[in-house]
């Protein structure tokens, strides 16, 4: 019997376990596979800046809190575990290849300005000066904007640090433990079954990404969580060609310190089918070659896909699962799970410990329409 049982060991579940353990709670985390092996591992670790003003909506507040907390957590996790999570405040470049994309970037610039975040347009000569590896072609790059506050993490390193830090704080991590049944008494869950064993806790938190859909259905809770596949190409180079994250629409090119480059990503509603397709990999490879010509000489080291947890209205599910008095959920964050994870951990821990969260979770209520 533990104070909190977290079902799902991705970045959100591990972050909640880490925060709950810091509050002195006994925590166990169950995962259907190895920890952090699904969407949390598969992403590129892009961390946009969060802003500091006009943050009226709870999602904006969560983004701002996460932006600050990532800096703090990276330093703390490194001190506790010795793992460099790859947190780098590298900045981001946003590119428009078509006329309509220029208008979209001007709108994004205004959106950031309302939140007190600097984003400014740069000339082609300025772009060549600070990122000379980018293609020098005005027909390919019609406009460019610089977002200095953008940062990045290396997902596998961050997940490794979280696991080690959780264990140091006494969290029991149980892999290959898929929950198959909930044991219910009145309006409480009193246990979950897996592999012939029952695990009990005072509180249960569902953080299984796209698979949270099935867990909620076992509790007769209809929900709009759905898997959205994203494919990624990893190039391996012998040196770092550029420093900033490159963004073009929903696609990105992320440089790592060791010369590796991540290129992604697709958005495909194909159910729970992972895997890559020749067409998507070719499109991502062409994107990389067209924007960073030197990547034509780099080896494609690996390709993969992950299933992001989307939602029917674009908002995550966070809060208590009505009518169950001791069941909570944090899922459906789509492309923002890693980015929002520290603020999610703080808010959900406050809620599960009987406190009023500093960020209002009402818009993310699991029982919303």
Q: For residue 264, what are the contacts with CB-CB under 8 A and spacing of at least 6?
A: 43, 44, 230, 231, 232, 233, 251, 252, 284
Helices (H), 1-145: 11-22, 39-42, 58-81, 99-114, 124-130
CA count, 13 A, side-chain hemisphere, 146: 16
Q: How much is the pLDDT for 54? A: 84
β-sheet with 201-206: strand ranges across: 172-174, 27-30, 2-7, 201-206, 327-331, 317-320
Place of tokens 């808010």: 347
Q: How much is the pLDDT for 369? A: 55
β-sheet bridge partners, residue 230: 306
Collect the ranges in the chain with pLDDT lower than 50: none
Q: How much is the pLDDT for 100? A: 87
Distance CA 358, CA 312 (A): 26
| Region 92-149+226-310: CATH code | 3.30.9.10
Q: Where are the domains of the chain?
A: 2-85+154-225+312-364, 92-149+226-310
β-sheet bridge partners, residue 236: 260, 299
**pLDDT for 197-231, tens place per residue?**
999 999 999 999 999 999 999 999 999 999 999 99
**pLDDT for 260-276, tens place per residue?**
999 999 999 999 999 99
| Region 2-85+154-225+312-364: CATH code | 3.50.50.60
């Amino acid at each position: 019997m533990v104070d909190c049982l977290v079902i799902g060991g991705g970045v959100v579940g591990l972050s909640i376990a880490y925060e709950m353990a810091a509050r002195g709670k006994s925590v166990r985390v169950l995962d259907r596979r190895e920890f952090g092996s699904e969407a949390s591992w598969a992403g590129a670790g892009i961390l946009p800046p969060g802003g500091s003003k006009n943050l009226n909506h709870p999602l904006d507040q969560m983004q701002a809190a996460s932006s600050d907390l990532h800096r703090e957590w990276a330093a703390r996790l490194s001190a506790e575990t010795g793992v460099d999570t790859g947190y780098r405040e590298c900045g981001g470049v946003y590119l428009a290849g078509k006329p309509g994309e220029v208008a979209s970037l001007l709108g994004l610039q205004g959106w950031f300005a309302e939140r007190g975040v600097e984003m400014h347009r740069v000339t082609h000569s300025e772009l060549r000066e600070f990122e000379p590896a980018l293609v020098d072609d005005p027909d390919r790059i019609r406009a460019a904007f610089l977002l200095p506050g953008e940062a990045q993490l290396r997902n596998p390193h961050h997940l490794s640090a979280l696991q080690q830090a959780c264990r140091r704080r006494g969290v029991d991590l149980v892999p290959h433990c898929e929950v198959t049944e909930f044991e219910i008494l009145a309006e409480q869950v009193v246990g979950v079954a897996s592999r012939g064993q029952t695990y009990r806790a005072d509180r249960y938190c569902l953080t299984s990404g796209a698979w949270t859909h099935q867990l909620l259905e076992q509790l007769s809770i209809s929900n709009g969580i759905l898997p959205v596949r994203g494919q990624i190409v990893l190039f391996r180079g012998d040196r770092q060609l550029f420093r900033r994250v490159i963004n073009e629409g929903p696609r990105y090119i992320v440089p790592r310190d060791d010369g590796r480059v991540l290129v992604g990503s697709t958005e495909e509603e194909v159910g729970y089918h992972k895997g890559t397709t020749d067409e998507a990999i070719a499109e991502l490879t062409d994107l990389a070659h067209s924007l960073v010509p030197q990547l034509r000489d780099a080896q494609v080291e690996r390709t993969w896909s992950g299933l992001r947890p989307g939602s029917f209205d674009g908002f995550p599910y966070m809060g208590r699962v009505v009518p169950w008095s001791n069941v909570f959920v944090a899922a459906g964050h789509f492309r923002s799970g890693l980015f929002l994870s520290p603020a999610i951990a703080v808010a959900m821990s406050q809620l599960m410990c009987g406190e009023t969260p500093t960020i209002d979770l009402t818009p993310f209520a699991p029982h919303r329409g």
